[in-house]
Homo-oligomer: A and B are copies of this chain.
Amino acid sequence: MDKPRRPRAETPKGFRDYFGPEVTMRKAMLDAIAAVYHRYGFDPLETSAVETVEALGKFLPDVDRPNEGVFAWQEDAADWLALRYDLTAPLARVAAQYRNDLSSPYRRYAMGPVWRNEKPGPGRFRQFYQCDADTVGSASVAADAEICAMLADALETVGIPRGDYVVKVNNRKVLNGVMEVAGLAGDDRHAERGIVLRAIDKIDRLGPEGVRALLGEGRKDESGDFTKGAGLSPDQAEVVMGFTTAKRDSGAATVARLRELVGASAIGGEGVAELEEIAALLAAQGYGPDRIVIDPGVVRGLGYYTGPVYEAELTFEILDEKGRKRQFGSVAGGRYDGLVKRFTGQDVPATGVSIGVDRLLAALQAKGRMQGETSGPVVVTVMDRDRMADYMAMVGELRQAGIRAEVYLGNPKNFGNQLKYADKRASPIAIIQGGNEAAAGKVILKDLILGAKIAENATLEEWKDRPAQVEVDRADLVAGVRKMLGQ
């Protein structure tokens, strides 16, 4: 008979564990961003990880099992539940559910994991943290300007100095105006406008030529599949492409160029005016183009957002393992309509930003800008198993004094193992008290950091000058440890 197979000790594909400093660094980043959001008047909201599929609303009614892109399961014969895939969909549900209780406008921030049922890849996980701030119920572009300023503050707070990032602002309405000029205005051109939006949104991946092909007849990809294009003439396509390359050296020049491109289009003119107003509101608060710029080259999310769109870019280079410049692009937002309307039928304007905290953290770590705790706890070793109470009293005193400390809880027989343990714990000090020391009312403090340095490369003078271990009175344990820690 076969023995039952042991279970595999593995995370599911695309999930991972976070240890020690990885947890505390992310927490420090979330706390710092939350403090900025809070100062701006945003209130915290924590929704549950689980929503009804109906509330998330991403699925077609004819799909039997709605697990495309999300993790979903059937609760009973009727209801499907799913893990949230972002923090915006739950906000829309909350804004509808509590619309009579929430202040209007409602500024809220939220942070926590979201889940995507997608193919995992290097650095791409199926659970990751987002840190969002949104204003629901304000149609004013002042709300957008505020989000941009707050985003700049948040980035600086987590350790990205001014000059190392830029917040870029674009506007979907300007693109709509450009499409009008390109002859795509009518109700009967809805499909073509969709093709243009999707094409623009793919410019990072396809490049200008790929987008141009999709604006025209269509594009054949590497696999030979053909994607039908919007059927624009080369001149019309040129107008649309002009939008993505309209950035000039100054905000005023960019605005002038955009005004040219949108011509007489009312919606386009509105979009350009909004960009100007956002820039003016930000300038009044001292946020100039060193921090926030108008950049029509920002096309990501233009298909989703309905007005201003913003994206933060790190201006320093981060290379991946293969030496290629790593795309960052996980801090972005914009104005969206219709999310609350799904529930209530009423238009509720909203705008907000999402910070992909895990990627931001990875970028800062790659740049050496973020460092976790490097020193571990003081370790009280166990020389005499029968005197565990004495060792626990020592560790208790240290903790009472606010010093991170632990007593060795493994098998104490082999003292070498205890020092190896202290080493693995990155312990700065080992406390030692054998029978002789105990009888004399003494305790030995071993400076493990200095000891490691000496072992590496100290001269004899240094060694004599500052021995790596000292004996102190048992009563002076805390004071001695403090001194050795340099506190």
Interface residues of A (CB under 8 A from B): 6-12, 15-20, 22-24, 27, 38-41, 43-52, 54-55, 57, 67, 71-73, 75, 79, 81, 83, 93-94, 96-98, 103-105, 107, 113, 115, 126-127, 135, 137-140, 142-143, 145-146, 149, 153, 280-281, 283-286, 342-345, 376-377, 379, 388-390, 392-393, 395-396, 399, 402-407, 409-411, 421, 424-425
Contact = CB atoms under 8 A, between A and B. Distances in A.
A54 B8 CA distance: 7
B17 A45 contact: yes
Nearest to A135: B409
A409 B138 contact: yes
B41 A105 contact: no
A286 B396 contact: yes
B284 A390 contact: yes
Contacts of A15: 48, 50
11 contacts: A12-B52, A12-B79, A20-B44, A24-B44, A39-B399, A41-B376, A103-B421, A139-B411, A281-B392, A285-B392, A285-B396
A75 to B, nearest CB: 7
Given A12-B50, A18-B46, A48-B16, A104 B421 contact: yes
A45 B23 contact: yes
A403 B19 CA distance: 35
Nearest to A398: B39
A284 B392 contact: yes
A154 to B, nearest CB: 12
**Of listed A48, A81, A390, A399, residue having the most chain B CB within 10 A:** A48
Contacts of A93: 9-11
A27 B20 CA distance: 19
Contacts of A12: 48, 50-52, 75, 79, 81
A103 B410 CA distance: 10
A45 B146 CA distance: 36
Contacts of A388: 140, 142, 281
A242 B346 CA distance: 67
A319 to B, nearest CB: 27
A317 to B, nearest CB: 30
A9 to B, nearest CB: 4
B48 A399 contact: no
Contacts of A10: 52, 55, 93, 97
Contacts of A19: 43-45
Contact of A409 (B146, B344, B392): B146
Given A115-B49, A406-B107, A149 B7 contact: no
A389 B281 contact: yes
A426 B436 CA distance: 65
Contact of A410 (B73, B137, B392, B405): B137
Nearest to A8: B54
A425 B142 contact: no
A401 B103 CA distance: 25
B399 A6 contact: no
Contacts of A55: 7-11
A393 B7 CA distance: 61
Contacts of A281: 388-389, 392
Contact of A47 (B17, B126, B285, B344): B17
A73 B73 CA distance: 6
Given A6-B345, A145-B392, A285-B392, A115 B50 contact: yes
A115 B143 CA distance: 36
Given A44-B20, A50-B15, A389-B280, A409 B105 contact: yes
Contacts of A139: 411
CB-CB nearest 8 A-B residue pairs: A41-B406, A73-B73, A9-B96, A285-B396, A284-B389, A138-B409, A23-B44, A41-B377
Contacts of A51: 11-12
A388 B38 CA distance: 21
A54 B393 contact: no
Nearest to A406: B41
A343 B4 CA distance: 12
A137 B143 CA distance: 54
